[in-house]
Structure 1
Amino acid sequence: MNLDPLQIGGKTLSSRFFIGTGLFPNPYIQMNAIKASGAEVLTFAIRRVNLEATEDDSILQHLDNEDYIYLPNTSGAQTAEEAVRIARLARASGLSNWIKVEISANERTLLPDSIETLKATEILVKEGFIVLPYTSDDPIICKRLEEAGAAAVMPGAAPIGTGLGILNPYNLGLIVEEAGVPIIVDAGLGCASDVVQAMELGVAGVLMNTPVAKAQDPVMMAHAMRLAIEAGRLSYLSGRITKKRYASASSGLEAYISK
């Protein structure tokens, strides 16, 4: 997979797995799952981090001396203004100039507010952030976010934490076809087969937290998801056979008939 790198925001990544750091039973399992995932990009909610002393923060202190790219997110924001303010605080604290814009106004579904997300993306791009917005699986809004300067666009497969898998593969396929930036599936996946399906649709990568952290064995699941990403990507690059209505004998039916 090192021969098929992913480039985002001037960074070249060998892993297409973006992993969240929340919900794990304890820091030991968290770190072992992260290592098993092979992920280079870690995301976490800024509201869970002590911005006044990031080196002592309970989340970040376990990542010392590790070469990760931090992707703080604006989870909890309900407006573009809130998201922009959170992003500025994160950068000012020295965390990162990468930001995952995450804005949702409905606490029941946590579905992204596309209008506010677009507003925040436009502002933050102008301020020099590497913006990766989490959005709905709407091909139009994904294209608008790309045009606004997003370094990558992250449509959800299903509502956050549901594990429902890809509810609309048709839309995700359209998004990939139209995209000029990497498309990262974010939210709603539940198992390795969901991940393979996403990668076979041509997405550039996958962001996950709940399906790994809440698995009965998070470390094993992280490894499984890593392999699924690699298998799905290789399958996509290889080019699947065309679907047919009728059977086609691999050994050649004509040879049997002639006998």
Structure 2
Amino acid sequence: MKVINNVDKLKIGHKIFNSRLMLGTGKYKSAAVALNSIKLSACEMVTVAIRRLPTDINNDNSSFLKLLDWKKLWLLPNTAGSQTAEEAIRMAFLGHELACQIGQEDNFFVKLEVISDPKYLLPDPIGTLKAADFLIKKGFTVLPYINADPMLALHLEDLGCATVMPLGSPIGSGQGLTNLANLKIIIENSNIPVIIDAGIGKSSHASLALELGADAVLVNSAIAQAQEPEKMALAMKLGVQAGRLTYLAGQMEEKNYARASSPITQISY
């Protein structure tokens, strides 16, 4: 349901967010660039691959996590690198342990990724369903990364997932939203937030996702691999805001013919 902008919040699980832009933390040239990009994006949730982190960040002064302000940011641990449901489940529990180390003891969020295909990096639907079912029963807030499969999205919603995160196009490709038909169906049918993840390469891609009615986007490579990541982070912030406002405003109906913008009849003022 459309709402006026000043009360337009994003709710995932028990958390409420003002920003509809989420950022990944990999591939940046330096920690300083990553920190500046996160700040300029005004995002409130960042995702971090558990597999790449030390088991005890408090005793690791080089840990990137220690540089972030966790009073303003919410950690979204992800199970990237997991090829089976069992690996993903193990990573999810480690993710919660790391959340506790930064003072977010009530953080049971997990971005669920099960990817057994090393070439195209496409998520495994069967492994994702299996892991999601187990983790939800254990009290996790599960955000599953999936192909743009409308039926799979419905099955995951029925299981109790907090969101679905369909890919816009192959991860890291920057191709944008290449499967619009299925993404539109997922958005139309979903009763939980839809977050477009993977494939976004520029701010217009992010804006289009929000214009379609997606609730948020998650971006990493487009910012981290831009020539000037900080500028791209700001562009993504503005693109998401513009796309959401366009959706809330209600776009004019498209027509197959021209219509004068200054008619001489039917003037109401």
The answer to whether structure 1 residue 7 and structure 2 residue 11 are counterparts is yes
The answer to whether structure 1 residue 129 and structure 2 residue 143 are counterparts is no
- The number of residues matched between the two structures is 255
The answer to whether structure 1 residue 138 and structure 2 residue 149 are counterparts is yes
Aligned match of 1:17: 21
The answer to whether structure 1 residue 200 and structure 2 residue 205 are counterparts is no
Aligned Cα root-mean-square deviation (Å): 1.5
Q: What is the distance in 2 between the residues matched to 1:254 and 1:231?
A: 32
Query: 8 Å contact 1:169–1:201 — kept in the other structure?
Result: no
Aligned match of 2:90: 85
Q: What is the distance in 2 between the residues matched to 1:9 and 1:44?
A: 19
The answer to whether structure 1 residue 236 and structure 2 residue 242 are counterparts is no
Shift of 1:124: 0.4
Q: What is the distance in 1 between the residues matched to 2:57 and 2:38?
A: 23
Q: What is the distance in 2 between the residues matched to 1:117 and 1:250?
A: 50
- Summarize the alignment of residues 178-217 of structure 1 with structure 2, pairs less than 5 Å apart: 178-217=189-228
**TM-score normalised to structure 1 length:** 0.94
Query: 8 Å contact 2:57–2:66 — kept in the other structure?
Result: no
Q: What is the distance in 2 between the residues matched to 1:87 and 1:172?
A: 27
Q: What is the distance in 2 between the residues matched to 1:28 and 1:55?
A: 21
Q: What is the distance in 2 between the residues matched to 1:4 and 1:49?
A: 34
Partner SS, residue 223 of structure 2? helix
Aligned match of 1:154: 165
Query: 8 Å contact 1:55–1:61 — kept in the other structure?
Result: no
Provide structure 2 residue ranges, at least 5 long, that are not aligned to the other structure. 102-106
Q: What is the distance in 2 between the residues matched to 1:252 and 1:141?
A: 48
Shift of 1:55: 6.0
Partner SS, residue 35 of structure 2? helix
Percent sequence identity over aligned pairs: 45
The answer to whether structure 1 residue 35 and structure 2 residue 46 are counterparts is no
Aligned match of 1:47: 51
Shift of 1:238: 0.8
Flag as ranges the 4+ runs of structure 1 deviating above 4 A.
none
Shift in alpha-carbon separation, 1:65–1:124, aligned structure 2, 3 A? closer
Deviations 1:220-241 (A, max 9, x none): 0000000000000000111111
Partner SS, residue 29 of structure 1? helix
> Given residue 64 of structure 2, which amino acid in structure 1 is its aligned partner?
I
Query: 8 Å contact 1:76–1:104 — kept in the other structure?
Result: yes
Deviations 1:44-101 (A, max 9, x none): 1001111233563522011145421100100000111110011112223425411000
Q: What is the distance in 2 between the residues matched to 1:68 and 1:29?
A: 17
Partner SS, residue 85 of structure 1? helix
Shift of 1:2: 4.5
The answer to whether structure 1 residue 58 and structure 2 residue 29 are counterparts is no
Query: 8 Å contact 2:57–2:63 — kept in the other structure?
Result: no
Query: 8 Å contact 1:138–1:175 — kept in the other structure?
Result: yes
Query: 8 Å contact 1:54–1:60 — kept in the other structure?
Result: no
Partner SS, residue 247 of structure 1? coil
Shift of 1:253: 5.4
Provide structure 1 residue ranges, at least 5 long, that are not aligned to the other structure. none
Shift in alpha-carbon separation, 1:54–1:178, aligned structure 2, 3 A? farther
> Given residue 114 of structure 1, which amino acid in structure 2 is its aligned partner?
P
Aligned match of 1:67: 72
The answer to whether structure 1 residue 245 and structure 2 residue 259 are counterparts is no
